[in-house]
């Protein structure tokens, strides 16, 4: 059992928790993730490590309340426990040889992008961050990004805060003006990562994307997290849990990944509604 040490609401649909998990906190690095279960009957869900405090033995996670499991998790309070908390899993973000980095985060994906930006900042890399949200009410982690970025641009789709538009607009402007990056790392919705990759391609800047497909065991055994890459004209299957979660954006078959990501949307919505009804009736 793993105790929830701290809990904080970042907005109406996004929650931050710090979990007491000393062994995970000791080894986890930016870019890696954990898999948790809320209770013995619960499903396994992957969540990226949003920060660690090895001295305290805590791991920070940030999640959006979109399904039954995240709804159950959000009903847990400080001092309560969750059943399982396994990790760190996946490959850590590669930082070697980079002097200038552009981090592009979208929505709750900023929770994954933020510790990556912090790590590059700690290493003395010049960090440019672009973060985008649908509306002002959904903006998260702005102060944290500002603290670890040499330049920060905040975008909202509806213009209700900061600059109006999507994250590809300032990225294109920078690249067209001659600004250079050793790498672009983009983390967020699949559609956003696809278009960030397309925006960077004419300029030849390497693009890394963080994939978050359906996962079950986190070891590559189930095959649920498979993605297709196009390498040297050949189609190659990789598993996000062990080969990723980060991949070369130019190789990812985004259309297939988007299609697979929608497969269980109706089922998840039904499960979420059932969970909400249970809590309204006073269930645990």
Domain membership of residue 283 (yes or no) is no
pLDDT, tens digit (0-9, with 9 covering 90-100), for 182-195: 999 999 999 999 99
Domain match, 85 and 114 both: no
At 108 the pLDDT is 92
Q: What is the CATH number of the domain that holds 227?
A: 3.40.50.80
Domain match, 126 and 231 both: yes
**Boundary-marking domain end, from 89, 108, 141:** 89
Domain range for residue 85?
2-89
Which residues does residue 154 pair with via DSSP β-bridges, in sequence order?
131
pLDDT, tens digit (0-9, with 9 covering 90-100), for 203-256: 999 999 999 877 777 777 777 788 899 888 899 999 988 898 999 999 999 998
pLDDT, tens digit (0-9, with 9 covering 90-100), for 78-114: 999 999 999 999 999 999 999 999 999 999 999 999 9
At 268 the pLDDT is 55
Domain membership of residue 273 (yes or no) is no
Domain membership of residue 270 (yes or no) is no
**Boundary-marking domain end, from 46, 63, 89:** 89
Domain match, 65 and 19 both: yes
Q: How many CA atoms lie within 13 A of 261 on its CB side?
A: 13
Q: What's the domain count of the chain?
A: 2
DSSP character at residue 252 = B
Domain match, 79 and 107 both: no
Does residue 57 have a pLDDT over 60? yes
At 6 the pLDDT is 97
Domain membership of residue 280 (yes or no) is no
Residue 19 phi, psi dihedral angles, 5° rounding: -110, 135
Domain membership of residue 65 (yes or no) is yes
Domain membership of residue 282 (yes or no) is no
pLDDT, the chain, mean = 91
Distance CA 85, CA 46 (A): 10
Domain match, 109 and 228 both: yes
Distance CA 278, CA 280 (A): 5
Domain match, 118 and 80 both: no
Tokens of 131: 């973060």
Domain match, 225 and 142 both: yes
User: Which three-class secondary structure state does DSSP give residue 175?
Assistant: helix
Q: What is the CATH number of the domain that holds 56?
A: 2.40.30.10
Domain match, 74 and 122 both: no
At 172 the pLDDT is 97
Does residue 121 have a pLDDT over 90? yes
Domain match, 125 and 247 both: yes
Domain match, 46 and 129 both: no
Question: Of 27, 82, 29, 32, nearest to 57 (Cα)?
Answer: 27
Grade residue 259 by pLDDT with cuts at 50, 70 and 90. Answer: confident
Rounded percentage of the chain residues whose pLDDT exceeds 90: 75
Distance CA 215, CA 273 (A): 22
**Boundary-marking domain end, from 89, 110, 128:** 89
Domain match, 55 and 189 both: no
Give the relative orientation of helices 168-176 and 190-200 as an angle to the nearest 10 degrees.
Answer: 10
Does residue 264 have a pLDDT over 80? no
Distance CA 229, CA 178 (A): 30
Domain membership of residue 176 (yes or no) is yes
Domain match, 47 and 170 both: no
Q: Which helix (H) or strand (E) holds 183?
A: strand 183-187
Domain membership of residue 248 (yes or no) is yes
């Amino acid at each position: 059992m793993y105790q929830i040490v701290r809990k904080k609401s970042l907005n109406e649909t996004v929650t931050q928790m710090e979990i007491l998990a000393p062994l995970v906190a000791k080894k986890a690095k930016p870019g890696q993730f954990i898999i948790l279960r809320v209770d013995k009957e619960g499903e396994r869900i992957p969540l990226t490590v949003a920060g660690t405090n090895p001295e305290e033995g805590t791991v920070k996670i940030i999640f959006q309340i979109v399904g039954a499991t995240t709804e159950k998790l959000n009903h847990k309070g400080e001092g309560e426990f969750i059943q399982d908390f396994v990790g760190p899993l996946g490959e850590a973000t590669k930082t070697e040889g980079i002097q200038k980095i552009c981090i592009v985060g979208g929505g709750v994906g900023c929770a994954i992008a933020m510790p990556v930006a912090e790590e590059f900042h700690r290493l003395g890399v010049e960090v440019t961050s672009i973060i985008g949200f649908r509306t002002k009410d959904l903006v998260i982690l702005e102060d944290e990004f500002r603290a670890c970025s040499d330049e920060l641009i905040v975008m909202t789709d509806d213009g209700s805060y900061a600059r109006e538009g999507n994250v590809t607009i300032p990225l294109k402007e920078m690249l067209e003006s001659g600004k250079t990056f050793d790498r672009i790392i983009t983390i967020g919705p699949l559609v956003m990562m696809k278009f960030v990759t397309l925006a960077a391609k004419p300029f030849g800047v390497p693009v890394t994307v963080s994939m978050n497909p359906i996962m079950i065991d986190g070891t590559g055994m189930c095959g649920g997290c498979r993605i297709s890459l196009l390498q040297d004209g050949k189609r190659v299957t990789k598993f996000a849990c062990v080969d990723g979660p980060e991949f070369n954006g130019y190789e990812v078959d985004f259309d297939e990944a988007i299609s697979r990501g929608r497969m269980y949307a109706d089922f998840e919505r039904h499960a979420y509604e059932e969970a909400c009804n249970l809590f309204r009736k006073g269930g645990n």
